[in-house]
Every structure is written in structure tokens, then in C-alpha cells.
């Protein structure tokens, strides 16, 4: 499920790359949840860095 959502969600290429490079499924899940939370708040990855 986590891998499928990672592929299907319309994230930026850099965000998808971070999901691909996650060293474990747990880390991928945490990264995915963070990206989804930012998307739901109307933010993007660049907003997370500020």
C-alpha cells in the first residue's frame, strides 16, 4: 500500500526520489505521510524547507 501510494500520488520528482531512496519501509511511510500532510495544507516541498 505504501509503495502504491508513493507511485500514484502527484508529487514533484524530487519528492518521489526521496521516497525511492528511503532506506526502509518505515522511513518511506514517514516521508509519505509528511508529503501528504504538506499537500493537504496547500504547501509544497519548498514550504517545508522554510
Question: Residue 42: what pLDDT?
Answer: 86
* Under 8 Å between Cβ of 36 and 30: no
Question: Residue 34: what pLDDT?
Answer: 94
Per the structure, the count of domains in the chain is: 1
Spatial distance between the Cα atoms of 10 and 15, rounded to a whole number of angstroms: 10
- With cell 495544507, the residue in question is 41
Give the structural domain span for 33.
2-49
In tens, the pLDDT along 9-48 reads: 899 999 999 999 999 999 999 999 999 999 899 865 554 4
Q: Which is higher by pLDDT, 13 or 50?
A: 13
Question: Residue 43: what pLDDT?
Answer: 66
Spatial distance between the Cα atoms of 47 and 24, rounded to a whole number of angstroms: 25
C-alpha cell at 6: 508513493
C-alpha cell at 11: 508529487
Amino acid at each position: 500500500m505504501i509503495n502504491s501510494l508513493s507511485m500514484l500520488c502527484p508529487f514533484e520528482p524530487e519528492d518521489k526520489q526521496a521516497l525511492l531512496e528511503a532506506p526502509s519501509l518505515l522511513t518511506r511511510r514517514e516521508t509519505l505521510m509528511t508529503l501528504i500532510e504538506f499537500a493537504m495544507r496547500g504547501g509544497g516541498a519548498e514550504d517545508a524547507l522554510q
